[in-house]
Amino acid sequence: MGEKPVTDTPERPTDERTRRLEKVERMRAAGIEPYPVRFDRSTTIGGLREKFPDVEAGTETDEVVRIAGRLLLLRRQGKLTFATVRDGSGAVQLFVSEGEIGIEGHNDFDALDLGDWVGVEGVVMTTRKGELSVKVRSFQLLAKALRPLPDKWHGLSDVDTRFRQRYVDLIVNEEARRVFEIRFKVMAAIRDYLGSLGFIEVETPVLHDQAGGAAARPFLTHHNALDMDLVLRIALELHLKRLIVAGFDKVYEMGRVFRNEGLSTRHNPEFTMLELYEAFVDYGEMMTLTEELVAHCAMVALGTTQVIHDGEVLQLAPPWRRLTLRDAIIEHAGVDVHPSMPVEAVRVLCDKFEVPYEQSWGSGKLMLEIYEKTTEHRLVGPVFVLDYPREVSPLARVHRDDPTLTERFEAIIGGRELANAFSELNDPVDQRERFEAQAQLQADGDAEAHGVDEDYLRAIEYGLPPTGGLGIGIDRLVMLIAGVTSIREVILFPQARPERPEVIRALAVEEAESEITPNS
RNA sequence: GGGUCGCUAGCUCAACUGGCAGAGCAUCGGGCUUUUAACCCGCAGGUUCAGGGUUCAAGUCCCUGGCGACCCA
């Protein structure tokens, strides 16, 4: 053995860790395996609680159970120890008495550390105070924890550590577990709901040879065998619409997309999108579907369609208010803007609202910029904002009543875009023109614009039926329903910079030292 | 990218204008057979993010860097 304890990230070696390592060695020396292969449970803790919901205080049943979980709290009281163990379904108290398992057994139990995984067998009972407990008859260490848990009362609150070591966050912070339970319920509710409507869930490629379907910078990667650069998808759109061409009436995909942009409380470089497409309908149906789907998710996850956002109660139950982009701007900025206006006139309005712009932008793009600066953040909603300029909507069909607009809406809740949908553009000639306009923007240096997707055009030249399409940011939906303000709270392992360089440096120093004085 | 704030024991946090670096929890030792963040007594635990500077003296002031939070673009 080396002369000093093994260090590893992120902390320096702790006495606690060394102590527990030594404990592991002692156990092995005594013939006890600290990491046994398996443990047969008779029930989960949740199942146990379900079976014994209401046992009178001071009862000892004749039911013997075998449960397993992580040891979270220990309360030793002389010849009696109370412990709290938790598995994936819940927590329960262990009642460990010297009278039941003897002095030696009790001391062995006492040698367990907080954080250890244990399996126990015992009789179901309640204490004098009525706490459901398992009176331990025998127990077994299932996995030794080497690192101590954070403070049992305050938990782990350092945000950076919480996200980097999410496993610890989830062990000790009830709120973290609550948020992810909501996330998983929401995702399951979406699949259930769409399935019940006849939608088919599909999976399309993550690696694309060309980015498309949204305005965003992609991540670049490289395929060695093909010797070609690829991008990670920024949207699901173009593949899903190929599937509508293929003859699927209703398809959806819920999956990860990647956008090469900054990190913030609202942005993580990889996030989860739901996109769905339905043949023969327009954006009106998409509105109905959106409000019903969101309300359904809230109902499943929370049991109510009311959510609290920024201290205010929002009602998600349909119907949601609908107003045009133009009317929204009139309402909140007090000016009437329309893509048909001369660009000079719209620039004057941009100046008035201190909206920066580029010379290449037309009235439609400027209109959207004005909306984003003056109006969007004030829309508490839920509200559907309809009819976006054609210039900023390269995949949406032209509005049936106004050739400068498209049949597109965004759902806004709490000042943020939650969903984006259109009557899909299915005219291949028009689509080619839009792509070419995007390609021009790209050539002019717009890193978020993309070129002509020839295969997509070929696909819709086979005929894309009239189609309604919808995209919902799942992370934002979960944030809304869970009532949290940072996207990192709803992503299990949010993006972070590599861990503290001084740790790496310290390890490098140790390596250098070990070269000078080799271990004997 | 700009601004503000933060980084102290394993965890959560203190340390007034520069003057011996502390508490609670966890750990360790002792006590306690119905606790619920159990409790009581005692011990130990520190590269104050890193590096440099000012000073008799730096957790504290200055500079550079790292990581993070919030606000702005």
Give strand letter and number of the nucleotide nearest A73 (CA to C1').
Answer: B37
Measured CA to CA, the distance from residue A253 to residue A47 in angstroms comes to 34
Give strand letter and number of the nucleotide nearest A155 (CA to C1').
Answer: B11
Is strand B less than 7 A from the beta carbon of A154?
yes
Residues A133-145: what's their mean pLDDT? Answer: 95
| Lowest mean pLDDT segment, chosen from A12-26, A214-228, A385-399 | A12-26
Residues A419-424: what's their mean pLDDT? Answer: 94
How far is Cα of residue A141 from the mean position of the Cα atoms in its chain? 33
Is strand B less than 7 A from the beta carbon of A369?
no
A146: closest CA among A326, A16, A45, A320? A16
Measured CA to CA, the distance from residue A209 to residue A417 in angstroms comes to 28
Q: Per-residue pLDDT tens for A296-330?
A: 999 999 999 999 887 788 999 999 999 999 999 99
Residue A33 has a pLDDT of 93
Measured CA to CA, the distance from residue A518 to residue A2 in angstroms comes to 9
Is strand B less than 7 A from the beta carbon of A19?
yes
Measure, in angstroms, how far nucleotide B40 C1' is from residue A98 CA. Answer: 21
Is strand B less than 7 A from the beta carbon of A445?
no
Long-range contacts of the stretch A493-502 (C-beta < 8 A, 24+): A493/A163, A493/A166, A494/A163, A494/A268, A495/A263, A495/A268, A495/A269, A495/A270, A496/A160, A496/A163, A496/A164, A499/A9, A499/A10, A499/A164, A500/A9, A500/A10
Nucleotides of B strand lying within 7 Å of any protein CB atom: 10-13, 24-28, 31-39, 45, 47, 49-50, 66-73
Task: Judge whether A237 and A263 are in contact, CB under 8 Å.
Answer: no
Is strand B less than 7 A from the beta carbon of A486?
yes
The pLDDT-based confidence of A510 (bands split at 50, 70, 90) is very low
Q: Per-residue pLDDT tens for A342-354?
A: 999 998 888 888 8
Residue nearest to nucleotide B12 (CA to C1'): A154
A65 pLDDT higher than 90: yes
Is strand B less than 7 A from the beta carbon of A99?
yes
A263 pLDDT higher than 70: yes
Residue nearest to nucleotide B1 (CA to C1'): A262
Give strand letter and number of the nucleotide nearest A103 (CA to C1').
Answer: B33
Q: Per-residue pLDDT tens for A190-245?
A: 999 999 999 999 999 999 998 888 888 889 899 999 999 999 999 999 999 999 99
Give strand letter and number of the nucleotide nearest A157 (CA to C1').
Answer: B12
Give strand letter and number of the nucleotide nearest A128 (CA to C1').
Answer: B34
Measured CA to CA, the distance from residue A263 to residue A494 in angstroms comes to 10
Q: Per-residue pLDDT tens for A180-204?
A: 999 999 999 999 999 999 999 999 9
A260 pLDDT higher than 60: yes
A385: closest CA among A330, A426, A334? A330
Residue nearest to nucleotide B10 (CA to C1'): A148
Residue A296 has a pLDDT of 96
Is strand B less than 7 A from the beta carbon of A79?
yes
Residue A131 has a pLDDT of 95
Is strand B less than 7 A from the beta carbon of A73?
yes
Residues A82-99: what's their mean pLDDT? Answer: 95
Measure, in angstroms, how far nucleotide B42 C1' is from residue A322 CA. Answer: 70
Helix (H, G, I), strand (E, B) or coil at A192: helix
A410 pLDDT higher than 80: yes
Residue A120 has a pLDDT of 96
Measure, in angstroms, how far nucleotide B30 C1' is from residue A22 CA. Answer: 23
Is strand B less than 7 A from the beta carbon of A18?
no
Measure, in angstroms, how far nucleotide B14 C1' is from residue A72 CA. Answer: 27
Residues A483-512: what's their mean pLDDT? Answer: 67
Residue nearest to nucleotide B27 (CA to C1'): A16
Rounding to the nearest 10 degrees, give the CA dihedral for residues A194, A200, A201, A203: -150
What pTM was computed for the model?
Answer: 0.87
Tokens of A171: 């062990």
| Lowest mean pLDDT segment, chosen from A6-20, A92-106, A375-389, A391-405 | A6-20
Residue A306 has a pLDDT of 93
A409 pLDDT higher than 90: yes
A444 pLDDT higher than 90: no
Task: Judge whether A69 and A45 are in contact, CB under 8 Å.
Answer: yes
Is strand B less than 7 A from the beta carbon of A372?
no
Helix (H, G, I), strand (E, B) or coil at A75: strand
Measure, in angstroms, how far nucleotide B8 C1' is from residue A418 CA. Answer: 42
Give strand letter and number of the nucleotide nearest A163 (CA to C1').
Answer: B68
Residues with Cβ within 8 Å of residue A471, at least 6 apart in sequence? A235, A236, A237, A273, A274, A275, A419, A420, A421
A328: closest CA among A282, A392, A273, A374? A374
Is strand B less than 7 A from the beta carbon of A93?
yes
What is chain A's mean pLDDT, rounded? 88
Residue A499 has a pLDDT of 65
Is strand B less than 7 A from the beta carbon of A510?
no
Measure, in angstroms, how far nucleotide B29 C1' is from residue A11 CA. Answer: 27
Is strand B less than 7 A from the beta carbon of A16?
yes
